[in-house]
């Protein structure tokens, strides 16, 4: 079938199938918030919000969603999973103000025979009883053919028989699920092509699962075969490996198949974050579209290419999803990565100072994988204030601290070309370091000045892995002097700041003696 551009409905089942993810249970308030965001902001075509008869909390949530949907003009776009139980599921949905039932029926002969102990004819009779009751009560009826993918593979005549029995029953959507996620794209295309040709007047939905990591590819195959409605979830939530990802499906259908969709992509990431927070299931940093790192260039050569002509940009631009591109700072950074970050901060450094800052970034990258743009002002201040005095140089240092125990510091330090070893003790790692350094510096007739102030800062954002800036104010015989240093470990940031004051004073002493 031609894949000429046509409108594809997206039905989001985050609140029903997504809630079958291990450990996920949305509160009524959370369900209402997600439903509103999906319909009003993301503008999906339909949402499936619950299973009938589950709990009173579920009933409360569905009632509130339906009340809001009617007020805002979304009536008929809220769906609830129901069961072949004649009146019970239908009445439950009616009591919540619902207008659509998605009836779960047996789409494989094995399920029908083994789980229900019934023949196709008996199951059809039960299904039609519930369908007719729902239609009499004014509900729109869709049906799920549970385990359809295996049913079609194992006994297609059962599937055809079921469809023949139901095709004239007034059912709006026949929803064909790959319940166990077993299909390949080729199998999806073949089976849906057959179904669409056999029943050209019926509306088919595809409900994929991601057990083989093929959900998005399978969606493409289903649309190519003629399907016009796809089920998916936010953040790929769902049983086992989850369902098809809403974000992936949306961009693939638009970019790769040129299909028309209703959704507003600029809200995808915001809603992904909402669902992440409510579900407690974290999104992988490299998840397409919504992952924290997917619009970050790490390699310096990529930043250089973007700087010179957008060589590493694609249709999946961050602005499309209300995000921004960033350029990681670390040991793989190049001059272009630094320039991109300086532009974001509206900072201008000379070529010489850029080289110094980049060298420090690369060095820090060996101990901290990624340095953020927020870290950059600390690094710049530290580098530009630094003097290349090497009168004292830290060769090695070990700090040990414990609860209700004195901290210890073991040092190897080179002073004026001579290597010294010393240990110190104190109330904390920095105090122990100062004790050890003073023991070494006694031989050089030097005592560290007293602290007038001591400040530790991290960039805004509160990340525990952030670089730490230590600014120490020293009382140097009545004159207050400041040194600063940056390190991923706050104790070592303080140690580096302390070494700076020693270097400065030793240098000045040498000048005076000269």
Q: Specify whether 385 is catalytic.
A: no
Distance CA 281, CA 278 (A): 8
Nearest to 384 by CA among 344, 354, 340: 354
Q: Specify whether 19 is catalytic.
A: no
Distance CA 167, CA 175 (A): 13
Q: Is 86 left (phi over 0), alpha (psi -120 to 50) or beta?
A: left
Find out whether 6 and 259 touch, Cβ atoms under 8 Å: yes
Residue 18 exposed, middle or buried by CB count within 10 Å (0-12, 13-18, 19+): buried
Q: What residues are paired with 421 via a beta bridge?
A: 412
Distance CA 447, CA 170 (A): 92
Q: Which two tokens stand for residue 334?
A: 């190049």
98-126 CB burial, b ≥16 within 10 A, e <16: bbbbbbbbbbbbebbbeeeeeebeebbeb
**Candidates 146, 239, 248, 469; catalytic one:** 146
Residue 324 exposed, middle or buried by CB count within 10 Å (0-12, 13-18, 19+): exposed
Distance CA 343, CA 307 (A): 11
**Candidates 16, 79, 99, 484; catalytic one:** 16
Widest Cα–Cα separation across the chain: 108
Nearest to 267 by CA among 287, 286, 289: 289
Pairing status of strand 405-415 against strand 418-426: antiparallel
Find out whether 101 and 93 touch, Cβ atoms under 8 Å: yes
Task: Report CA Rg, the chain.
Answer: 32
Catalytic positions, please?
16, 146
């Amino acid at each position: 079938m031609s894949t000429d551009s046509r409108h594809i409905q997206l039905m989001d089942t985050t609140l029903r199938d997504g809630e079958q993810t291990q450990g996920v249970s949305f509160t009524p308030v959370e369900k209402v918030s997600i439903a509103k965001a999906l319909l009003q902001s993301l503008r999906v075509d339909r949402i499936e919000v619950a299973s009938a008869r589950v709990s009173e909390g579920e009933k409360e949530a569905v009632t509130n969603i339906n009340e809001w949907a009617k007020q805002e003009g979304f009536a008929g776009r809220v769906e609830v999973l129901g069961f072949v139980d004649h009146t019970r599921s239908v009445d439950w949905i009616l009591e919540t103000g619902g207008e659509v039932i998605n009836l779960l029926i047996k789409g494989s002969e094995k399920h029908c025979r083994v789980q229900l102990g019934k023949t196709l004819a008996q199951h059809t009779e039960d299904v039609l009883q519930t369908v007719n009751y729902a239609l009499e009560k004014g509900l729109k009826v869709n049906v799920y053919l549970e385990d359809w993918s295996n049913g079609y593979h194992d006994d297609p005549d059962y599937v055809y028989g079921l469809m023949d029995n139901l095709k004239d029953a007034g059912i709006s959507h026949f929803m064909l699920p790959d319940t166990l996620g077993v299909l390949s794209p080729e199998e999806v295309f073949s089976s849906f092509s057959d179904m669409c040709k056999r029943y050209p007047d019926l509306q088919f939905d595809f409900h994929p699962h991601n057990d083989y990591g093929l959900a998005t590819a399978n969606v493409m195959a289903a649309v190519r075969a003629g399907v016009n409605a796809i089920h998916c979830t936010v953040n790929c939530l769902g049983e086992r490996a989850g369902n098809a990802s809403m974000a992936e499906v949306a961009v693939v259908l638009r970019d790769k198949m040129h299909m028309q969709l209703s959704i507003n992509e600029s809200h995808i990431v915001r809603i992904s974050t909402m669902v992440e927070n409510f579900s407690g299931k974290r999104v992988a940093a490299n998840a397409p579209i919504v992952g924290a790192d997917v619009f970050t260039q790490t390699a310096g050569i990529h930043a250089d290419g973007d700087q010179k002509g957008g060589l590493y940009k694609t249709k999946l631009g961050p602005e499309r999803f209300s995000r921004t591109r960033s350029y990681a700072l670390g040991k793989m950074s190049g001059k272009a990565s630094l320039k991109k970050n300086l532009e974001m901060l509206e900072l201008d450094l000379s070529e010489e100072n850029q080289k110094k800052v980049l060298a420090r970034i690369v060095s820090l990258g060996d101990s901290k994988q990624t340095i953020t743009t927020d870290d950059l002002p600390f690094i710049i201040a530290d580098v530009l204030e630094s003097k290349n005095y090497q009168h004292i140089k830290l060769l090695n240092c070990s700090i040990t601290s414990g609860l209700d125990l004195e901290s210890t510091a073991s040092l190897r330090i080179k002073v004026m070309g001579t290597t010294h070893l010393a240990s110190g003790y104190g109330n904390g790692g920095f105090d122990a370091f100062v004790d050890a350094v003073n023991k070494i510096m006694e031989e050089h007739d030097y005592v560290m000045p007293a602290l007038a102030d001591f400040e530790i800062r991290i960039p805004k954002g509160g990340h525990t892995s952030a670089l730490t800036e230590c600014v120490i104010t020293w009382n140097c015989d009545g004159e207050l002097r400041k040194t600063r240093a940056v390190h991923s470990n706050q104790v070592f940031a303080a140690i580096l700041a302390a070494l700076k004051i020693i270097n400065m004073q030793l240098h000045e002493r040498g000048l005076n003696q000269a």
